[in-house]
Chain A
Amino acid sequence: MMHEPLEPRPVKTKFFTPTVIFITILAINGIIWALLRFVLGIGAVTNLDNQHPWGIWIGIDVAAGVALAAGGFTTSALVHIFHREDFHVLVRPAIMTAMLGYTFVALGVLFDLGRYYNIWHVPIMGNSTSVLFEVGICVMTYVSTLYVEFFPVVTERFMGRVRMGGILSKLNRAVDKLLRWIDAFLVKTMFFFIILGVVLSCLHQSSLGTLMMIAGHKIHPLWQTPIAPLLFLLSAISVGFPMVIMESLIASKSFGLKPEMDVLAKLGRFVGPLLAIYLGFKIGDMAVRGTYVYLSDLSLPSIMWMVEVLFGVIIPMRMFFWDKVLQSRPLLLIASFLAIFGVFIFRFNVFIIAYKPPYSFGAYFPSIGEISITVGLISIEILLYRILAIIFPVVSQPVKRLAVNAKYKVQGVFR
């Protein structure tokens, strides 16, 4: 095994590639639809109605978005709380993705709120019996916590390098001093924010499962279970590492870097057992409540349930238990992708497929506007990831970069 010294540093790459241009177009399309939503109202750009009050903005942008940002708290728990320093290189990218992910969850909520400008009512008028309030307040606090967790990266980048021009140059020294002070403060107190982040994550990841329980008979029995909070929490924990693996593989490819295959393979070993625990509870719950009877009717919900569990849990679980998968980059990527798909579709199923209005005048299918805004938000998130990785020391790279680059040119794997 090679031991090249690794160090997080800003990635040196040009910003635009054909893929990035394509993603930029999707982002612009999303922004246009977003403007329409704010000018014309929710009804004009969505297919939502009184029968279907929530659509993909809640089901995907918020519910799936929160679950897929679980890489942040799982990785920081692994490295900082369980002291597995061998995974340290993964923490910064994971925290950054979580920070971006949650920021966009918050943005996604704003699109969906009819009176988005009243969002500040939540902390001051909060209703303690409301599950949504608990989710909301935890997410708000956790976003701030993630910003704090990311801040040392900012201080590291700018300490001793504050060079503002013009009249601001007089402030350079003061800003530098402030950064140093914050950095010293955070070094001492970071453990507090790390634990807080993990606790808040456990709280709202599970409460997201409670959210739809109040809809009672409107939720299909396949998903309407008292242990929904537990299933949501377990699935979020199991999807955290696959998310980190997928990001790491895709980012390294896009930035022309060597992926940390040995670290990722080691991380992948956790995923199989985690998925197995989640699957155990999911199947156990089905057995206890006898809901398997609904599987035989081959309706949309039952097919979606089978897709979710077979492709999203069982197959990736089997793959992660397989050494060959852990060693191979494409297979590891596929396995991670399937695990992510599984949790994504779980959230989608609970919030969209399982919701059956008592009085319905037609099925819900997301409109072009809804899809455009959802895709646009994801696109902007990817672009921001790229921008932040270029500005800040996030992605770990070998210190001798030149040599590595040359080697890969020969192999011809990277662009």
Chain B
Amino acid sequence: MNTQSRREFLKTAGLLGAGIAGIKPKEAAASPVNIVSDDRMGVLVDSTVCIGCRQCEIACKEEHGLPVGSLDDYMDRTLLAEMRRPDTTALTVINEYPNPKNPDQHTDLKVQCMHCDHPACVSACIVGAFSKQENGAVIWDESRCIGCRYCMVACPFQVPAFEFDKALEPKIMKCDLCYDNRTSKGKLPACVEACPQNALIFGKRYELLQLAHQKIQDRPQSYFDHIYGEHEVGGTSWLYLSNQDFASLDFPDVGTEPMPGATEPLQHALFKFFIPPVALYGLLGGIMWLGKGNKAEEEE
């Protein structure tokens, strides 16, 4: 009786185990496209030459079919002083800050998705709707998204915006580096093309970094000695130069470690090797089996 029941137990466990092994999540799950190419592109924002004309905002809206509104509104500079964030009506915005070096002037700063080299949104998205393309663009795939908004929780720069007002097909919206119609075809992003001051420079990221370092070296009195995005969260495709500390420009201190660094090793341990769950299963099964034998003996 005793050995009999144990053998039964093992046999069934083996059969069912084989069955479940076939459908374990590992098979179903895939990692999203996440390429960190050496030749990836980027944009260098030299905020010391930006005049806050908001041409980039207009160009971006036109490129993405968002309502532009009256052009006169873009002349109203009072709006600039109030901190704004990219949202579902504007994928990029200009904010203005006082310039400590010259009280007559301002520091104007364009903000949008940073196109991280190790994007938290790509790592986090439950269905792999976010991906990092070969040219550096981090883009969102509408056909996959389930609207869970975990990407928004994950993004260190609080960039992805969600259409909360839509009952059906709400979109996650953010700067896509004009991937679909422009940068994937070798053209300039709309905002870069529209900038009258050459404050935005599109190019290979490593070349932009060289250029940025060169600028700081050539005119150290004009620049704060830091390229925001060079090392932040492991590096970003958008790089910033400024005349003052980025902390006073509302750029968060995010550290230099990639955000997914905290969670991905744990996930990989679970899914790539699948050892801990299987080991736990075996352990519990063993305890159950031994106890089962004892019980049968007691009953005999």
Contact = CB atoms under 8 A, between A and B. Distances in A.
Note whether A and B form a binding pair: yes
Contacts of B126: 122, 126-127, 130, 132-133, 136
Interface in B125-143: 125-128
A116 B126 CA distance: 13
B277 A203 contact: yes
A296 interface: no
Contact of B288 (A129, A133, A191): A191
Interface stretch (A77-85, A260-268, A287-295, A371-379): A77-85
Contacts of B287: 81-82
B146 A229 contact: no
Interface stretch (B73-81, B194-202, B205-213, B255-263): B255-263
Given A214-B259, A216-B259, A189 B281 contact: no
A134 B158 CA distance: 23
A115 B255 CA distance: 33
B252 interface: yes
Contacts of A202: 280
A127 B31 contact: yes
Contacts of A213: 262-263
Contact of A126 (B25, B154, B288): B25
Contacts of A133: 25, 29, 126-127
Most A CB within 10 A of own CB, among B32, B253, B284: B284
A261 B294 CA distance: 28
Interface stretch (B9-17, B44-52, B178-186, B223-231): B9-17
A134 B127 contact: no
B8 interface: yes
B21 interface: no
A130 B295 contact: no
A54 B284 CA distance: 36
Interface string B96-126: 0000000000000000000000001011111
A226 B85 CA distance: 31
B217 to A, nearest CB: 31
Contacts of A116: 146-147
Interface residues of A, number: 69
B85 A214 contact: no
Contacts of A85: 295
Given A40-B167, A114-B162, A122-B127, A359 B260 contact: no
Interface stretch (B53-61, B63-71, B265-273): B265-273
Q: Give the bracket for the number of chain B residues in contact with chain A.
A: 35 or more
A43 B254 CA distance: 29
B277 A199 contact: yes
B38 interface: no
B260 A54 contact: no
Contact of A358 (B9, B156, B163, B167): B156
A132 B124 contact: yes
B165 A44 contact: yes
A115 B147 CA distance: 5
B1 interface: no
Given A83-B294, A127-B29, A226-B262, A203 B167 contact: no
A130 B26 CA distance: 12
A355 B30 CA distance: 29
Interface stretch (A16-24, A45-53, A406-414): A45-53
A85 B288 CA distance: 13
Interface string B154-169: 1011101111111111
B156 A41 contact: no
Contact of A114 (B29, B147, B156, B294): B147
B146 A358 contact: no
Interface string A349-361: 0000001011100
Given A77-B284, A83-B292, A130-B123, A196 B164 contact: no
Nearest to A215: B153
Contacts of A82: 287, 291
Given A189-B16, A196-B20, A217-B156, A126 B259 contact: no
Contacts of A359: 83, 85, 158, 250
Nearest to B270: A134
Nearest to A47: B164
Nearest to A49: B164
Interface in B225-257: 250, 252-255
Interface in A117-164: 118-119, 121-134, 136-137
A38 interface: yes
Contacts of B30: 125-128
A50 B161 contact: yes
Given A126-B25, A130-B124, A214 B158 contact: no
B260 A132 contact: no
A121 B128 CA distance: 10
A12 interface: no
B149 interface: yes
Contacts of A188: 8, 12
B152 interface: yes
Contacts of B120: 214, 216
B154 A119 contact: no
A41 B123 contact: no
Contact of A214 (B165, B169, B253, B263): B263
Contacts of B169: 115
B220 interface: no
B124 A80 contact: no
Contact of A81 (B125, B156, B167, B284): B284
A192 B13 contact: yes
19 contacts: A39-B167, A43-B163, A50-B152, A50-B160, A116-B147, A122-B127, A126-B28, A126-B30, A127-B29, A129-B32, A129-B267, A131-B124, A188-B8, A191-B288, A195-B285, A195-B288, A203-B270, A203-B277, A217-B255
Interface of A: 38-44, 46, 48-51, 53-54, 77, 80-83, 85, 112-116, 118-119, 121-134, 136-137, 188-189, 191-192, 194-196, 198-199, 202-203, 207, 210, 212-218, 226, 229, 355, 357-359
Q: What 8 pairs between A and B have smallest CB-CB spacing?
A: A114-B147, A43-B164, A128-B29, A53-B152, A41-B167, A127-B128, A115-B147, A83-B291
Given A126-B28, A137-B29, 19 more contacts: A43-B163, A77-B284, A81-B284, A114-B149, A115-B146, A121-B146, A124-B28, A126-B30, A127-B30, A127-B128, A129-B124, A130-B126, A137-B28, A188-B8, A191-B9, A195-B281, A199-B281, A203-B270, A214-B259
